[in-house]
Amino acid sequence: MPELPSVELFKRFFEDNGLYQTILDVEVSSPEILFNIKKDVFQDVLMGESFSSSYRYGKYLFSSFKGNRDLVMHFGMTGFLRYYSKGDNPDKHDRVAFIFDNGKILSFNDPRKFGKVGITSQRDYFIREKKLGPDALHLDYPLFKKLFQNRKGAIKPLLMNQSFIAGIGNLYADEILYQSKLHPLEKANHLKENNLENLHENMVKVLKKAIDCKDSLHNFPPEYLLSHRYPAGECPDGEKVEIIKVGGRTTYYCPRRQKLFK
């Protein structure tokens, strides 16, 4: 599932290819992915408009147009953006396509159709309605520390809880905990001040590194867990990677480095 780094890259892709172009037509081949709006209304609202800016919050991408309105995209498990010429062959998984006046097309492609596309005129209200916590990449340490007050659950499910912190999924939660030398089952109320500072620092570091690496596991340095995160994989120090279930999610960690507190 696309996590914050993927959506940040989608944002940059959208800014490079989707802004300041007049929309001549909107094709919706899978209206079931639209939320809170009917296909014909969606098309009518966007025809003749142009996107002026984009904004990412957690795993959501917003693209603004006239009247303080935003196109909203959530990429589900397999969603991404494509930009191509009108003469090119369309992909069968293009669910929503914006045809621009320059002959180019920007499409929301989603093979499994778990993504969602819609429109909101109240971005801040939308974020509150979805009960999203602070964005992980823009969360300063004082607020991060405050979030952990009176929390007693395991640390990994907390990091993945979008109402707690928005943007982190299974993959990067494992990497953040590896870099922080924290066991994924460690209790939040066991963390000391230095643990919290280290966790916050590594959260930001890992997310920024993922963006720099274009969210590709092959681009990460060998001292990151991500390229070793597979069955029978070895930790960067040569130890065997352990695999457990945490909160119903497959979790990779290195037991020598990530020990439960006594």
pLDDT mean by block of 10 residues, the chain; 262 residues: 95 98 98 97 98 98 96 98 91 97 97 98 97 98 96 96 98 98 97 97 98 95 93 92 96 96 86
Q: Quote helix, strand, coil % in the chain, to nearest 5.
A: 35, 25, 40
Spatial separation of the C-alpha atoms in residues 29 and 32, rounded to whole Å: 9
Spatial separation of the C-alpha atoms in residues 82 and 102, rounded to whole Å: 16
Any idea of the CA torsion for 93, 96, 101, 102, to the nearest 10 degrees? -30
Spatial separation of the C-alpha atoms in residues 147 and 188, rounded to whole Å: 10
pTM of the model: 0.96
pLDDT value, residue 210: 98
In 3D space, the residue among 205, 199, 211 whose CA is nearest the CA of residue 164 turns out to be: 199
Q: Which domains does the chain have, with CATH numbers?
A: 4-129 (3.20.190.10), 136-253 (1.10.8.50)
pLDDT value, residue 87: 85
Torsions phi, psi of 249, nearest 5? -110, 140
pLDDT value, residue 19: 98
In 3D space, the residue among 111, 117, 8, 125 whose CA is nearest the CA of residue 57 turns out to be: 8
pLDDT value, residue 121: 96
Continuous segment of H or E residues that includes residue 109: strand 104-109
Classify the C-alpha dihedral 7-114-109-78 as positive or negative: positive
Distances 237 to 186, 227, 241 between C-alpha atoms, Å: 22, 13, 10
Which tokens in the block code for residue 208?
A: 């920024």
